[in-house]
Chains A and B, each alone.
Chain A
Amino acid sequence: MTRQNADHQPDTPQPLAAALACVFPGLGHIYLRQKRRAAMVALGVLGLFFTGLLTAGIDAVDSGAWYIARAHKMAGKPAPFVRTDGDPIWFLGEMFCGPIAFGVDYYHQTRLKVLDASGTLRTALPNEIRNPRTGAPIQVRDDDNNQPLQFTDPATGQVRLSTPADRPPYVKPLARVAEIGTLSCTLAGMLNLIAIIDCAFNRRREEDEGAAQ
């Protein structure tokens, strides 16, 4: 069946369009020649996703690295961590945004979180920085009085006193800001799921008439 014929049949299953919608918000509708619908889906889904990121920071997308541990297990390697923090339940919704959500989360897990001596992959504490080579946390200020501590700078290898510029890779959001940011990113994934289903069972609309002419 050609695509043109498929376009003229109502409620035709469109698995390729659904798959494309999973890859990027709106891509499925572009395949179905519904460019305006695609643009609006992309604006809504990406607008929500980045509003969430802007509000709560990168901690809004935190899978707990379960897929990283699973990938290591499938490759026959030991998991790179013993324990992890995160919001895997919320990520179940966010992941429907597609590779963007996985990309943001992968960057969060592998470039911003610290792997401490107990094997826990976690957010760096306010008085810690991250060793970019090993991912280990480095204490740079005293927890009791916030006074600068001497530490070995991972960039230069020299021992020096910490400055205010030595700060954690990111700040963990708190209270309502954290809730709203995570909720916004999850709603983005849920709305893209609606768009994926819409593509999968494409219904011919009047917009297509104009596109076909």
Chain B
Amino acid sequence: MTTPLALTLAQGWRPFIDPVNAHSFWYLLLVPISFFIAVAYKAVRVKTFDNYWTAVTVMTVQIIAGMIGLAAAFYLLVQVYPRLL
């Protein structure tokens, strides 16, 4: 059965108006978000722009690694720890 939502999206995606169908890979959106956060934050933090893109890359990787670490820690807390009790 065709749902109203599927019927609407079948008419074509309108960029910046309709949401993107990223439900199966939403976690990959962390990469551009981390990158742009690092670009803006390092822009006001660095004294010179000599190693700016290196600093941006390092911060982007730190954010992504931190989020993966948090996800792993919460997985252990929610899924593994209760079984040990």
User: On chain B, which size bracket covers the interface?
Assistant: 35 or more
Please judge, given known A-B contacts A57-B18, A205-B47, A205-B48, whether A127 and B4 are in contact too, CB under 8 Å: yes
A100 part of interface (Cβ distance < 8 Å): no
User: On chain A, which size bracket covers the interface?
Assistant: 35 or more
Which residues of chain B come closer than 8 Å to A141, judged between CB atoms? 4, 7
Please judge, given known A-B contacts A53-B16, A57-B18, whether A171 and B8 are in contact too, CB under 8 Å: yes
Q: Are B43 and A207 in contact, with the CB atoms below 8 A?
A: no
Looking across the interface, which residue of chain B has its beta carbon closest to that of A143?
Answer: B4
Q: How close is B81's CB to chain A, nearest CB, in angstroms?
A: 24
Binary interface encoding of chain B residues 19-37 relative to chain A, with 1 for a CB under 8 A from any of its CBs, else 0? 1111100100100110111
How would you classify the secondary structure of chain B's contact residues: helix, strand, loop or mixed? helix
Looking across the interface, which residue of chain B has its beta carbon closest to that of A44?
Answer: B40
Q: Are A47 and B36 in contact, with the CB atoms below 8 A?
A: yes
Q: How close is A126's CB to chain B, nearest CB, in angstroms?
A: 3
Q: How close is B30's CB to chain A, nearest CB, in angstroms?
A: 8
Looking across the interface, which residue of chain A has its beta carbon closest to that of B20?
Answer: A55
Which residues of chain B come closer than 8 Å to A187, judged between CB atoms? 33, 37
Q: How close is B11's CB to chain A, nearest CB, in angstroms?
A: 5
A:181-213 near B, CB below 8 Å: 181, 183-184, 187-188, 191-192, 194-195, 198, 205-207
B75 part of interface (Cβ distance < 8 Å): no
Q: Are A164 and B14 in contact, with the CB atoms below 8 A?
A: no
Binary interface encoding of chain A residues 37-62 relative to chain B, with 1 for a CB under 8 A from any of its CBs, else 0? 10011011101101101111111000
Looking across the interface, which residue of chain A has its beta carbon closest to that of B19?
Answer: A173
Alpha-carbon separation in the docked complex, A195 to B40 (Å): 8
Which residues of chain B come closer than 8 Å to A165, judged between CB atoms? 11
Please judge, given known A-B contacts A40-B52, A171-B5, A187-B33, whether A50 and B41 are in contact too, CB under 8 Å: no
Binary interface encoding of chain A residues 145-174 relative to chain B, with 1 for a CB under 8 A from any of its CBs, else 0? 010000000000000000011011111111
Looking across the interface, which residue of chain B has its beta carbon closest to that of A49?
Answer: B36
Interface centre among A47, A53, A192 (most CB of B within 10 A): A47
Alpha-carbon separation in the docked complex, A167 to B13 (Å): 12
Q: Are A44 and B41 in contact, with the CB atoms below 8 A?
A: yes
Alpha-carbon separation in the docked complex, A205 to B37 (Å): 21
- Residue pairs across A and B with Cβ atoms less than 8 A apart, 20 shown, are A36-B49, A40-B42, A40-B43, A44-B38, A44-B43, A47-B32, A47-B40, A48-B36, A59-B19, A141-B4, A146-B4, A146-B7, A164-B7, A177-B22, A180-B29, A184-B33, A187-B33, A188-B40, A192-B40, A205-B47
Interface residues of B (CB under 8 A from A): 1-5, 7-11, 14-23, 26, 29, 32-33, 35-44, 47-49, 52
Q: 3 closest Cβ contacts across the A-B interface?
A: A44-B40, A126-B4, A173-B19
